Amino acid sequence: MRSLLMALSLILCPVMARAQVGVSVGVNIGFSMPVFPELVVVPGHPVYYAPRAPANYFYYDGLYWVYQGDRWYLSSWYDGPWQMVDPDSVPLYLLRVPVRYYRQPPVYFRAWAQDAPPRWGERWGRGWEQHRRGWDRWDRRSAPPPAPLPVYQREYSGDRYPRALEQQHAVRSERFQYQPREVVTRQHYQQRASPRPVSVQPAPAREPPPSRPAPQVQPGQQRQHPQGAPQEQGREMPPARDRGRASQAVPQKSGQQDEGRKDGGPPGKGQKDNAGGHGQGER
């Protein structure tokens, strides 16, 4: 069982690593693009490149791409912030751009053919080449058209350039309605579209409810249900049966009955019928 779990972990770890689009955000890539760059379509490819940029600068499927220091970076705005991308997540159409369109090619690019794409398998190893097998073989007729350029970003430079990711996303959502086709682009757009996690503050400690006062017993209830009433010394209380007979034998005047009702005394039969008829019990 333990060997099976180890084998599964070895299989799943590369898959999880490949699924990761970016490993860091806000990376300093060593140069700045102060204004919206000039972008030209690479002939036969759905990719733009910046011929006057001080870096290997491209635009594809709604994102800007820079290859700098053996790393790929992406951004939805022309001057960042930039996000580092795992080599397994770089789109194939971007990897197929010929060497000649890299304006600042690394030294090891010089030994490769200018009209062919870089030999990424030699640079990134056999594992990458097996995962992206056939990356350099494609039918140019099946290539998608180049994505429209986000020319609205020309209006934003200098102090007007939005640096906050939330502000960038808000402007892009309002001014640029392009629907990307690549998974990496869709994930990047969704990542910027998702709201910030809301920090849940702990609820303030609630004070315990005040203790309820003991219910006040009405005088009538004391006469009806005496609890623990002290007995008079030297006098014995008659049994309950005899007390009931004695109370029935004593006649009461009508005025005393009315007084008993006002004082909360025990209602007689007539009072119960009267209360039921006039609804005095639900005030």
Burial class (CB in 10 A: 0-12, 13-18, 19+), 58: buried
Question: In the prediction, which pLDDT does 260 show?
Answer: 45
- If pLDDT is split at 50, 70 and 90, which confidence band does 19 have? very low
Per-range mean pLDDT, top range of 7-11, 175-179, 221-225: 175-179
| Tens-digit pLDDT profile for residues 225-249 | 445 444 444 454 555 555 545 445 4
pLDDT greater than 70 at residue 10:
no
Category of 80 on φ-ψ map: left (φ > 0), alpha (ψ -120 to 50) or beta: left
Task: Give the tens place of pLDDT for each residue, 110-148.
Answer: 999 999 999 999 999 999 999 999 999 989 889 999 999
Q: Which residue has the tokens 């909360």?
A: 264
> Quick check: 141 and 21 in contact, CB under 8 A?
no
Q: Which run of H or of E encompasses 74?
A: strand 71-75
- Binned at pLDDT 50, 70 and 90, residue 27 comes out as confident
Does the predicted TM-score (pTM) go above 0.85? Answer: no
Closest alpha carbon to 145 in 39, 58, 62, 45 = 45
Residues 68-115 have pLDDT tens digits of 999 999 999 999 999 999 999 999 999 999 999 999 999 999 999 999
**Position 177: which residue type?**
Q
Q: Where are the domains of the chain?
A: 20-193
56 closest CA partner among 68, 74, 40 = 68
The edge-to-edge listing of strands for the beta sheet with 56-60 is: 22-27, 82-85, 71-75, 63-68, 56-60, 48-49, 40-41
pLDDT confidence of 28, banded at 50, 70, 90? confident
Tell me which residue of 62, 55, 61 sits closest to 33, measured CA to CA: 55
Q: What is the pLDDT of residue 90?
A: 97
